[in-house]
Amino acid sequence: MKKLTVEDSWHETWKYSYPYDLLEIYSDTSSLGYAYAYETRRNHTLQLIQKVAKPSAKILDIAAAQGNFSLLLAELGYEVTWNDLRAELIDYVKLKWERGQVSYAPGNVLSQKFDSEFDVILMGEVIEHVAHPDEFLREISKFLKPNGHIVMTTPNGEYFLNRLPKFSDCPDPSQFESLQFQPNSDGHIFLLHLDELEPIASQAGLSVVETRIFTNPLTNGHLKTRYLLKLLPKSFVDGFERFTRSLPFFLAKKINTSLAVLLTRKD
């Protein structure tokens, strides 16, 4: 990806996105917790995609924002379709493009008419912004090829600092429809719990193939550990990340903040 320099003439959404690019792909160290957490999520996401799809596979990247996953996957040889509600971000993504095949489908993904189905759909930090995650997943699965896969990352609802409701405990999710699709954690509606994954997936005609729990409070700088991150070597942070992932499951699901889920379409 090309490195950009911010310009006064940029659209406001470009200026909003640029600080995230600094942390995600341009090695800015001003917020090590965010940068480390993003790197960890990126690694797990790519591992799961590469596990089920070879280069040249067709990937739909939903709510892809400034396109960092889209561009990286294209550079790895995948045929990527970028999607986001904000069409004005397309030209921003194109400025960063260096190589690989990327096409663009702006707008509400559920209203799209794609020419063909996809081998993999990437839903990175999306489903927690949706009032009806079960219905959303069911509709998204219709874009998959038979035996295609969804790679989904989302905050872990069982993390001990989570204070948001559990989706399956909400009798009327429609009350949250006006809050959908807001950016960042301000737009989180529900955080999924591990025991919700199988039933929600099954209702959508999907099976859970693999679940990963990752990113502890040190890695993402929670509980004021962001001050420690400035002092600790990256090798220590990475080692602690591996340690907390290896804890007994009942502890790991309370200590780690994030989930990555690999789903497959049942045919």
Cα 9 from Cα 217, distance rounded (Å): 38
Is residue 157 within 8 A of residue 182, CB to CB? The reply is no
Q: CATH for 12-265, among 3.40.50.150, 1.10.3720.10, 3.10.50.40, 3.30.530.20?
A: 3.40.50.150
Residue 184 has a pLDDT of 75
- Cα–chain center distance at 60: 12
Q: What is the pLDDT, as a whole number, of residue 183?
A: 74
For the chain, the domains span 12-265
* Residue 42 phi, psi (nearest 5): -60, -45
* Crossing angle between the packed helical segments 68-75 and 32-52, to the nearest 10 degrees: 40
Model confidence pLDDT, tens digit, residues 89-104? 999 999 999 999 999 9
Specify the DSSP class assigned to residue 166: P
Find out whether 257 and 191 touch, Cβ atoms under 8 Å: no
- List, in sequence order, the alpha helices (H) in 78-225: 90-96, 133-141, 194-203
- Dist. CA 174–CA 59, nearest whole Å: 30
Supply the angle between the helices 234-245 and 32-52 in degrees, to the nearest 10: 50
Helices 194-203 and 133-141 cross at an angle (nearest 10°) of 50
The identity of residue 120, as a single letter, is V
List pLDDT tens digits, range 101-150: 999 999 999 999 999 999 999 999 999 999 999 999 999 999 999 999 99
Distance CA 70, CA 256 (A): 26
Strands (E) in the chain, as ranges, are 58-62, 79-82, 101-104, 118-124, 144-155, 206-214, 258-265
Question: 248: Cβ–Cβ under 8 A, 6 or more apart, which residues?
Answer: none
Q: Which two tokens stand for residue 71?
A: 């561009």
**pLDDT in 10s for each residue of the chain, 267 residues:** 999 999 999 999 999 999 999 999 999 999 999 999 999 999 999 999 999 999 999 999 999 999 999 999 999 999 999 999 999 999 999 999 999 999 999 999 999 999 999 999 999 999 999 999 999 999 999 999 999 999 999 999 999 999 899 999 998 999 888 888 887 777 899 999 999 999 999 999 999 999 999 999 999 999 999 999 999 999 999 999 999 999 999 999 999 999 999 999 987
pTM (predicted TM-score): 0.95
Positive or negative torsion for Cα 126, 128, 129, 135: positive
